[in-house]
Structure 1
Amino acid sequence: ASRGLLVKDRQALEIAQDADVIILDKTGTLTTGEFKVLDVKLLNDKYTKEEIIALLAGIEGGSSHPIAQSIISFAEQQDIRPASFDSIDVISGSGVEGKAGGHRYQLISQKAYGRNLDMDIPKGATLSVLVENDDAIGAVALGDELKPTSKELIKALKKNNIQPIMATGDNEKAAQGVAEVLGIEYRSNQSPQDKYELVKTLKDEGKKVIMVGDGVNDAPSLALADVGIAIGAGTQV
């Protein structure tokens, strides 16, 4: 308790010392979760860069997600007013969609968009694609930093013969950047269902699995693992 840990199941502590594998979420778990906008790209000549930033800030208006907050503050810094949206809905596991000025927009992950984009993505960055009627009109590259304690954590796990695997919804480049620095195995483009399947596969192989997650999306995996460790927003579940 003095270290800020709430143990909800005492058996979890006993099982933890026999763990073989630990699956770690990336954003907010291994990284600070404090995103910065690294780049905004125009992918359609119908819009100006300012209009794209206004749409990005508008569609993220109602969200408390770290990515959303960083886009909103980026627009503020540029003195750009967010576009006004009539309705905004969450698309589970892939992003948000909404209506503005009679047009339907989506801001989704690169995986959900499912097509290649002709642009350079900064190493370690997460990419969100702004889509209108199935066509990409803009993209925003975001980055967050590793927590200073993450390297120590990985060292300690390896010393105790617990294999760390990072599982993240982020794209291949973003995941690879972090995994290389930490020297760990990783899975990129993981939906909440993919993470769940990863835990299930490892358990079926007879391994004792710890899952560490920050966020409501990780709830199914946290529940299925032998030990679930929720941090940050994940503690709400």
Structure 2
Amino acid sequence: MKIKTTLSTVAVVGALVAVGAPASAAELSPPLESLPIGTEMSAEGIEPTGDKVVIDGEVTDIAVMPGFDPAAPAVVLDENGQPVTVGEISFISEEGETHQLAAVPSTNRAALASCWKGWVAPGTGTWYTSVPGCSVIGISADTTVGYDWTVDFNSLGTGCLQGKGYKARHLPGGGNVWDEYYGSLGCGGGGSSGGGVIKWGNVASTKQVQMMSASTPVGAAGMFQ
């Protein structure tokens, strides 16, 4: 059973409290230690919005996913998954309204550091979805996104994480359908860290992770970016 529940960092304390976990939930959501980093765990077809990203006056073919916030800071990534500084970048909504995007320069380390967000995995043995992280705009079909995570030093449990990414499926009649999926980023106990690389493509969306406690009935908590 996969449960998608958005949690805020205020639930950290509750995640570390030992609570009973239903046996069926633990059986259906096994730990991921044996899975290689980047393993696809789940996929869901997503239809992009009609919004457009404009770079240096040219309308791009970047697929804008539902939930993308043009007012939030956005990191622009090249085909190697590295932050790049672009010229003028804007956003045109389906209704024709134009907004300037707040692209974070690759040299602004403080802004990039602000992309760290909290995650909490209660000790139920089921999957949860984190709050959204920073927005990401991939400018190439080959763009990948790097995820980093930490587990709090005072965390009593072990957490397993998956990072959100996208894969394009080419339709026989032309056009693309995008699969939003979560790939394995590994597991760790208190004080540990890790990460991985997830396929993203030419997509505008927000980074997000799914997390599960591998130490039921004890939970875990940490940060991701």
* Smaller-chain TM-score bracket: under 0.3
Which one has a larger percent helix, Structure 1 or Structure 2? 1
When normalised by structure 1's length, the TM-score is 0.25
When normalised by structure 2's length, the TM-score is 0.26
| Larger RCO, structures 1/2 (Cα 8 Å, 6+ apart) | 2
Which one has a larger percent strand, Structure 1 or Structure 2? 2
Give the number of the structure whose alpha-carbon radius of gyration is greater.
Answer: 1
